[in-house]
Amino acid sequence: MSSITVQSEETLATGTGPLNGYVVLDLTRALAGPHAGMMMGDLGAKVIKIEAMGTGDDTRGWGPPFVGPEDQRQATYFLSCNRNKQSVALNLKDEEHKAKLVELVRHSDVLMENFRTGVLDRLGFSVDVLHELNPRLVILSITGFGHDGPESHRSGYDQILQGEAGLMSITGSGPEDPQKVGVPIADLLSGMYGAYGALAALLERESTGRGQVVRTSLLASIIGVHAFQGTRQTVAGENPKAIGNHHPSIAPYGLYSCSDGKVQISIGSEKLWQAFAAKFGLPTGDPRFASNSRRVENRAALNELIERSFSAFAAKELLRELDAAGIPAGKVRSIEEVYEWEQVESQGLIVEVEHEVLGRISLPGPPLRFFDAATSKETTRTAHTAPPLLDADAADVDRWLENRKMGRP
C-alpha cells in the first residue's frame, strides 16, 4: 500500500504531480465518478479503471460524435473524462475476476464507485469487506440522491438532478423557461466534490492510519453550489426564479446588446458604477440608480439606457472602451473560439496525447497548476496519457500487481 507524505526534490522536478505514488481503483462509469478519477490521475495518481467486459464504460457508446476508423469508433464523450487511466475489464460476478479485484483492493489507496446503493454489497464488496482487505483504503461512493433517506433508491441522472435540486428553476430566460446547464454539471460537481473528499480522507489517514468512507451525491453537489440563491430562501424567505442573463442581486451585471452583437459587463462596486456611468453618459444623479439595491429594483429602466448607449458601438470597439475604463467585460465565445484562444493555451488548458487508434489528439486540460514554493518552478504533471482502449492495460496491471505482491514498487 502506498503512503507518501513528502516528495523529494527530484520527484518534484519531474512534474509528475503531487499524487505520484498513490493508487486509485476506479470502478465508476458514465461521468461523475470517471471525472473524479481523472482529477486524481491529473494529479499524478496511478488510476486503474475497472470496466465491464465486452462493453466497457457506458460512455464508450454515447454519441455521436464518434471519431476514428469505422471498426474502432471512439466516443468523444468517453475521451472527455478518462485521460491518465489504465483500463482493465472484469466480470464482477466471476470468482476468478473477483479474486483479481481483491488483490487490486489490497494494493490501492482509494476505491471509487458509483453503483446504486447496495449493489457493491451484493457483489461481496461491502465496506466492511473492503476495509478487512485493506484497512487503509479510502472509499469514495457517489450516488444520485444520497446513500440513505427515503429516496436513496432512485437512479441519479444529471438532468433529472438539475431539475430536482432546483438548478433548472433559476436557469433560463424566466420562471416559465427552466433550462439545464449546457454541460452535465451535477455529474461534474459530484466528481469534483468526491475527489476533494477523497483527498481529505487521504490526508487524515496520515494521522489515523485508517481509511474511511466518503459519500457524496448529485443532489448534494447541486445544493452545495446554491450559494446566495440558497440563502435567499433559507434566510430571506425568497423563492429565487430564473431571470435570464442578468444577476439577481447586482446591477448592472449581465449580457447586453450593441450594434453588431452582445457583450457582458460586471459592475460589482459603487466605484465601478461611477466610472461606468461617466464613461457611457448614464445619469449618476438619478435616484433610481443611487445604490446597487436601487439599480436592481429598476433594472429594466437601467438596462434600456445601457443598451441605448451601447447601440453606438460595435462589439469589438465597445470591449476596447470598457477595458480602457477599467470595466470588467467580455465577449461570449463559442467553444471553438475558446480552444483557439492564446490565453487558454498559455494556462495549459489544452493537452496533447497519443491515442492508440486516433493518433495525436488534443484534450481539454487539467484546471490546476502547481509550483514549488522554494524555487517557483512549476511541478504540474505535464506528461498525460490518452483515454485507454477497453482492457488495454490488463497485462501491464497484472505485472504491476505481481511486483506489488512481491514487495517491489
Secondary structure string (H, E, C) spanning 293-311: HHHHHCHHHHHHHHHHHHC
State whether 331 and 348 are in the same domain.
no
Domain membership flag for residue 242: no
How many angstroms separate the CA atoms of 126 and 105, rounded? 12
- In this structure, the answer to whether residues 354 and 213 fall within a common structural domain is yes
Residues 291 and 349 in one domain: no
> Residue 248 falls within a domain, yes or no?
no
pLDDT at residue number 253: 97
Positions in the chain whose pLDDT score sits under 50 = 1-14
For residue 369, is it within any domain?
A: yes
Q: Are residues 87 and 19 in the same domain?
A: yes
Domain range enclosing 102 = 9-226+344-405
The CATH number of residue 350's host domain is: 3.40.50.10540
Could you tell me if 193 and 322 lie in one domain?
no
133's grid cell: 482487505
- Cell digits of residue 235: 434566510
> Is residue 123 domain-shared with residue 20, that is, in the same domain?
yes
Catalytic residue among 26, 42, 109, 187: 187
How many CB atoms neighbour CB 173 within 10 A? Answer: 12
CATH number of residue 275's parent domain: 3.30.1540.10
Q: What angle do CA 95, 100, 143 make, to 5 degrees?
A: 85
329 sits in which H/E element: strand 329-330
Torsion sign over Cα 370, 373, 377, 383 = negative
| Residues 182-240: tens digit of each pLDDT | 999 999 999 999 999 999 999 999 999 999 999 999 999 999 999 999 999 999 999 99
Domain assignment present for residue 13? The answer is yes
SS3 342: helix
Place of cell 429565487: 240
Helix residue ranges, H only, 165-213: 185-208
86 plus 58 within the same structural domain:
yes
Q: Is 70 domain-assigned?
A: yes
Domain termination residue (choose one: 274, 307, 335): 335
Determine the pLDDT at residue 15: 61
Q: Are 263 and 310 in contact (CB under 8 A)?
A: yes
Are 56 and 102 members of one domain? Answer: yes
Q: Are residues 302 and 327 in the same domain?
A: yes
Q: What is the DSSP letter of 393?
A: T
Helix, strand and coil in the chain, % to nearest 5: 40, 15, 45
Q: Is there a single domain that holds both residue 73 and residue 202?
A: yes
Tens-digit pLDDT profile for residues 275-302: 999 999 999 889 999 999 999 999 999 9
Same domain, 85 and 158: yes
Nearest to 258 by CA among 174, 195, 322: 322
The reported pLDDT for the residue numbered 406 is 84
**Which of 335, 367, 382 lies at the terminal end of a domain, its last residue?**
335
Q: Is 177 labeled as catalytic in the residue annotation?
A: no
Phi, psi of 68 (to 5 degrees): 100, 180
Residues 147, 38 share a domain: yes
Domain end position, chosen among 335, 359, 386: 335
Is this prediction's pTM over 0.95? no
Nearest in space to 30 (alpha carbons), one of 56, 66, 68:
56
